[in-house]
Structure 1
Amino acid sequence: MVDVTTSNFDSVLKAIPDVIRNCDFIALDLELSGLDETHCRNTADLPQSRFKRCRRDVLKYTPVQVGLAFFQYDEDDKKYTVRPYNFYVFPFHNSSQFPDMHVQFLTSSMSFLSSHGFDFNKWVNCGIPFVSVAKEDQMRRHMEQHFDDLRKGLGFLLEEININTQTKLLSLVEETSPQKDQEFKRKDAQELIDAEFRNADFLRLTREQLRALKDEGDECQIKDANSFQRRLVFKIISSEFSEKNLVGIVKSVEGSQDNKDKYILVKKLSVGSRTSRLDYQQKVKLEDLNACVGFTNIMKLISESGKMIVGHNMLMDILHIHNTFFGPVSESYENFKASINSIFPKICDTKVLATTKPFKTHIPYTGLETLFNAVSQKPFKKPVFKFAVGFDKYDQVGAAHEAGYDAYMTGFIFASLLNYLGSLVKPPKAHIPCSSELVTPFVNKIFLMRILDLYYMDLENDDVIPRRHDMFYLMFPKEWKTRDIVKLFEKFGNSIQVNWINDVSCFVKVEGMRDPATTILKTVALAAAGAENFSICTFDEYHEKFEDNGEANEEATQPEISTSKNGVGDSIRKLSATQKRASEEAAQDLGEEIDPETLMPKDKKVRTK
């Protein structure tokens, strides 16, 4: 059982608590309706500015597939048992409380998913519903308040029954309430007057029937009621008759096509009968709510377990999981860190491990598939494992970019890297559990792509902030080109790097800076005197003024350019040699914090915020 849809989700939900409880760690991966990588174009980002850019992307797109792979280590057999799941998830929308939501796709993402076998029909028709924990809590509170009001006699009971099958149409169960009645009363007065005029005969007969029911009898039928007339009947019962022990049951005329011909059966109930109906309706509503929560139930179980969560380059994954299954991601970076820590206390990003000493030496590239192949060879020791019975879909044939398979690869990589850690200690250890102190330096650090001198976000502690004394922030006329900016700085260093933010602002890094920042500020400002909207400040001043105050800039609209002192280079897509060297040095920062003998953290070598 690897692929999970609505057809087999209930059985998975019953079995998965034991799977979670017995596993050592959980690897995850998402496939998304869109992924706009412009959020990682700014190589001068700090963790909080990168978070803001990624958050904007997360608000636009949604997960379409969630992969979870549960790795359970057996001390006796010395091997892992792996249970990968591939969940198709589709937003719940089949009620007034959960209206249709917009799902936005990037065409490139649709093509990518299609080329890797994603079944869009299965996603739409069989995708497991979900609502966020925040929305679920809101609906539960609303439901409890609603039924409390009904028990106090503040609302009118309404049920809808299919008379041909005598089965409850759960999706059509509705109750009126003071709030709904107020909504009805707020409708345009003239519209109500017109409606009463057009339905004068219907309302007169209805009132006569209800008055007769007050005096004697147990029920009455109000026939030929269309949807608006039915609403008028409910309004009359709740507002003009003091008895609150009436229930309106909308029934279909026997033999009608598509149940379109309906009438209202109004019954007089005893207090006990009314209470029983309320209890039944509340039970049905709770079952409906639990059903539409769907996949979120699994994410809640994982969160409650406190187990280690493993991902690869997983910043977007954890942002989407938070926003989709738990609640909106806060605009505040610090609040987000606190929130994700409460959801998943232990997270490990395999890309952080792979770009850190001692692993980096043996891993030239860290893409998921490439890394999977690399850790399957020496000097790494791939983990011994077996797929659990019924979970062998990926045993012989891979399925790259299917969320379940990518989650399995991620977990495999993690186990192999831990094995390699075990080979470095004295005496060597054949197996390193994810709870080991050797893993601690890598926990709750999330990889940050394409930043020159910083490559991880620290979810648990203050972030490591690199020294950027040789970087400046510029605003300038839209007509300016890279050559205009380089000309202002070329005499102050060995090479100039221009990192565009948008058409009118950029960061400039002066490699081998020979003059103090104050001198450069004054000289450049003087040289650009008269240029419209020109301003310059140091990176630290920019960070304090803009990022700390939440005034993030728009995404870059021009490619990054690297130039030498001797002239303007060509526009390039890859990092320049200088950038590569800086990236390699940055990729060793975390490793340099670890003692080579004990693999435990040393004192940090860069300042923290």
Structure 2
Amino acid sequence: MDVTISNWEEIKPDLLQDLECCNFVSFDFELTGLSLTQPPMFYNLDLYYKFHKESVSSFLTIQLGVTTHHYSEKNDKWTANSYNIWMFPISSRKDPKIKTFSCSAFEFLRSHNFDFNKWIDEGIPWKRTKEFEDGLENIKKDQKLIEEWVKKEMSLQERAKGPFPQTQNKIKKEQVKQQVLEEYYKICEQVSEWVDSEGKEFKYNQRSPFARRYWYQKFRKKYPNLLIDTSYENGKHMFCLKKCNEEEMKDHYLQKIQDKIFYQHEQLEITEIFLIIKEKQIPIVGHNCWLDLLHIYNAFIDDLPETLQEFKTKVKENFGPIYDTKIITELSGSEKLNGIGATNTSLSFLYNEVKELKKPQIEISADRYLSSEFCHEAGYDSLMTGVIFLRISEILLQNEENEGQEQNIRKRKLNAIRCDQDFVLKSIVNQEFNGKVKMFRCMPNMLNLFGQDIKINLDRMFYLSDFNKEWDNNKIFKTFDSQNNFFKINWIDDTSCFIELRNKNKISEFTKQFVNNKNIKKKKNQEYLLITYVDYQKQFF
């Protein structure tokens, strides 16, 4: 289902209800870019996180794909409901949302028929949960001031000053332009006539915040028994004066608080999806979803934390189980998956391998997604992710059942997928996969969001660069390891790579013979530069 600003209010109740009762959610994003520069090869997860943190903060999420998955025990069948949500950010003078759009991303999206006009015209704005919570906290402070103000005994003139302390400096007459003064004198005449009339409310269109503030200051002093307010009506900023008694004045301020709370919730929009996921601890499934998780946090929750460890802590606070179908496929191995993923673990390739399988039975509610022409539309990609997850999970379950590792596997499976508050996919996918996501151009090539990560011995790592473009693996082995073949090569580009020694006993010998640690620059007539990974980090990070 295509979800835009035009139909959001109509679809929103069904979507949120869908989330409330689903068994898990699969998701995908379309973005304005992936990284500011080509990522180097990393052997340090903390540096890897910092590199992507900068890139993620520079790009926008422009389309969110969400597919909810529901299991019917009665029919032993899954139903997949897909939503393709167009996103366009709220901007303001304080936060103009200045972001980057990479040319390669633009070309990629256009080649897959992405409608940029629709994105701008029909994209749904949203607010982060952190901004929402901060806004509610400020409203609660205002509410407390109002409640204290209501209880006080005071004259109508004192009460007309309002419950909030005046923190802004008064505007002096010499600060006011002649045009604003002339308009003020003109409106004074109109207000004077209105005060003597039977009218309850006076409104005047004034776009200038400075002028409205000056008028507020002047009229509050001149007419202390009037309620002064501003409003926004039909695209116009209105300066308002109201005649009211003490009770009406109290009700006015209390209603303002309720309006602010309503406005805060209204601005959340699609962020409510992730509030429900957090509250219900709904498992989420992505494919190669490291960057997607960073974008979820950055777009819908808060600025990304400074360190990887802080990010992992925040993920635990805001999400339940997390599964990456790419890492599940790779860790399981193609033999366990009956050959699936043997040659390619990309999203579309895996989907084509599993879509014709009979088990489990999956009903796709969106007819438009029965065709593959919507590949790289976020909603369709989220559907493919969910189908892959269910199909490879079924194969793993069947293997477990066939190997006799556990009795009553089918009963356990049905218990696990029943939707309740403590729901986790314990049997759909083994818990060993929970929180493990694929890392690209990084060693280790997997991150454990909910546990300890694999440690890499950096003493074995060396950075080789500045060699001739004609060099290949054979040339490198011949230069540094003509006899034993005791290292492996991870290429960065045509003139640089990492060398990883297999045998720790060779580190000292290799370092003495080849490494330029004392002088990072190439020696005269030397064909290459070889330094330790520690020096590489100092030089580049």
TM-score range, shorter chain: 0.7 to 0.9
Question: CA 1:244 to 1:91, structure 2 compared with 1: closer, same or farther past 3 Å?
Answer: farther
Moved more, 326-335 or 358-367: 358-367
TM-score, normalised via structure 2 length:
0.78
Residue matched to 2:420: none
Residue matched to 2:454: 464
Moved more, 134-143 or 71-80: 134-143
Question: What is the CA distance between 1:356 and its match in structure 2?
Answer: 1.8
CA deviation vs aligned residue, 1:536-571 (integer Å, no higher than 9, x gap): 7644x569xx5xxxx7946xxxxxxxxxxxxxxxxx
Residue matched to 1:32: 31
Q: Tell me, what secondary structure is at the counterpart of 1:461?
A: coil
Residue matched to 1:112: 108
Residue matched to 1:356: 331
From 445, 458, 461, the equivalent of 2:436 is 445
Question: What is the CA distance between 1:347 and its match in structure 2?
Answer: 0.4
Question: What is the CA distance between 1:26 and its match in structure 2?
Answer: 0.9
Residue matched to 1:584: none
Residue matched to 1:139: 135
Check whether the contact 1:68–1:85 (CA below 8 A) recurs between aligned residues.
yes
Whether 1:521 and 2:496 are equivalent positions in the alignment is no
Q: Tell me, what secondary structure is at the counterpart of 1:90?
A: coil
Map 1:540-559 → 2, pairs under 5 A:
541=534, 553=540
Whether 1:88 and 2:86 are equivalent positions in the alignment is yes
Whether 1:329 and 2:304 are equivalent positions in the alignment is yes
Q: Distance in 2 between matches of 1:325 and 1:295?
A: 9
Whether 1:371 and 2:350 are equivalent positions in the alignment is yes
Question: CA 1:381 to 1:199, structure 2 compared with 1: closer, same or farther past 3 Å?
Answer: closer
TM-score, normalised via structure 1 length:
0.70
Question: What is the CA distance between 1:328 and its match in structure 2?
Answer: 1.0
Check whether the contact 1:482–1:498 (CA below 8 A) recurs between aligned residues.
no
CA deviation vs aligned residue, 1:213-237 (integer Å, no higher than 9, x gap): 9999987979897845444211223
Question: CA 1:237 to 1:24, structure 2 compared with 1: closer, same or farther past 3 Å?
Answer: same
Residue matched to 1:298: 273
Question: What is the CA distance between 1:321 and its match in structure 2?
Answer: 0.3
Q: Tell me, what secondary structure is at the counterpart of 1:7?
A: coil
Q: Distance in 2 between matches of 1:319 and 1:517?
A: 37
Check whether the contact 1:69–1:407 (CA below 8 A) recurs between aligned residues.
yes
From 361, 370, 376, the equivalent of 1:384 is 361
Amino acid at match of 1:27: S
Q: Distance in 2 between matches of 1:415 and 1:297?
A: 26
Whether 1:286 and 2:273 are equivalent positions in the alignment is no
Amino acid at match of 1:425: E
Question: What is the CA distance between 1:50 and its match in structure 2?
Answer: 1.8
CA deviation vs aligned residue, 1:102-121 (integer Å, no higher than 9, x gap): 24211221221122122222
Q: Distance in 2 between matches of 1:35 and 1:211?
A: 61
From 70, 73, 77, the equivalent of 1:72 is 70
Q: Distance in 1 between matches of 2:264 and 2:178?
A: 40
Question: CA 1:395 to 1:552, structure 2 compared with 1: closer, same or farther past 3 Å?
Answer: farther
CA RMSD of aligned residues (A): 4.3
Q: Distance in 2 between matches of 1:274 and 1:331?
A: 47
Q: Distance in 1 between matches of 2:60 and 2:181?
A: 50
Question: What is the CA distance between 1:535 and its match in structure 2?
Answer: 10
From 499, 511, 517, the equivalent of 1:509 is 499
Check whether the contact 1:31–1:64 (CA below 8 A) recurs between aligned residues.
yes
Map 1:42-81 → 2, pairs under 5 A:
42=41, 44-81=42-79
Whether 1:243 and 2:224 are equivalent positions in the alignment is yes
Q: Distance in 2 between matches of 1:91 and 1:263?
A: 26
Q: Distance in 2 between matches of 1:514 and 1:265?
A: 78
Q: Distance in 1 between matches of 2:99 and 2:456?
A: 38
Residue matched to 2:389: 414
Q: Tell me, what secondary structure is at the counterpart of 1:386?
A: strand
Q: How many aligned positions are there?
A: 500
Question: What is the CA distance between 1:146 and its match in structure 2?
Answer: 4.4
Amino acid at match of 1:89: M
Q: Distance in 1 between matches of 2:291 and 2:498?
A: 28
Residue matched to 1:23: 22
Question: CA 1:421 to 1:152, structure 2 compared with 1: closer, same or farther past 3 Å?
Answer: same
Question: What is the CA distance between 1:465 and its match in structure 2?
Answer: 1.5
Question: What is the CA distance between 1:446 and its match in structure 2?
Answer: 0.5
Question: CA 1:339 to 1:274, structure 2 compared with 1: closer, same or farther past 3 Å?
Answer: same
Q: Distance in 2 between matches of 1:502 and 1:242?
A: 78
Residue matched to 1:14: 13
Question: What is the CA distance between 1:299 and its match in structure 2?
Answer: 1.6
Question: CA 1:51 to 1:265, structure 2 compared with 1: closer, same or farther past 3 Å?
Answer: closer
Relative contact order: is structure 1 or structure 2 higher (C-alpha 8 Å, sep ≥ 6)?
2
Q: Tell me, what secondary structure is at the counterpart of 1:393?
A: helix
Q: Distance in 2 between matches of 1:12 and 1:200?
A: 49
Q: Distance in 2 between matches of 1:51 and 1:135?
A: 24
Q: Distance in 2 between matches of 1:459 and 1:467?
A: 21
Check whether the contact 1:153–1:244 (CA below 8 A) recurs between aligned residues.
no
Question: CA 1:509 to 1:384, structure 2 compared with 1: closer, same or farther past 3 Å?
Answer: same
Residue matched to 1:402: 377
Residue matched to 2:168: 181
Check whether the contact 2:327–2:436 (CA below 8 A) recurs between aligned residues.
yes
Question: What is the CA distance between 1:461 and its match in structure 2?
Answer: 0.8
Check whether the contact 1:13–1:298 (CA below 8 A) recurs between aligned residues.
no
Question: CA 1:264 to 1:366, structure 2 compared with 1: closer, same or farther past 3 Å?
Answer: closer
Residue matched to 1:317: 292
Question: CA 1:374 to 1:10, structure 2 compared with 1: closer, same or farther past 3 Å?
Answer: same
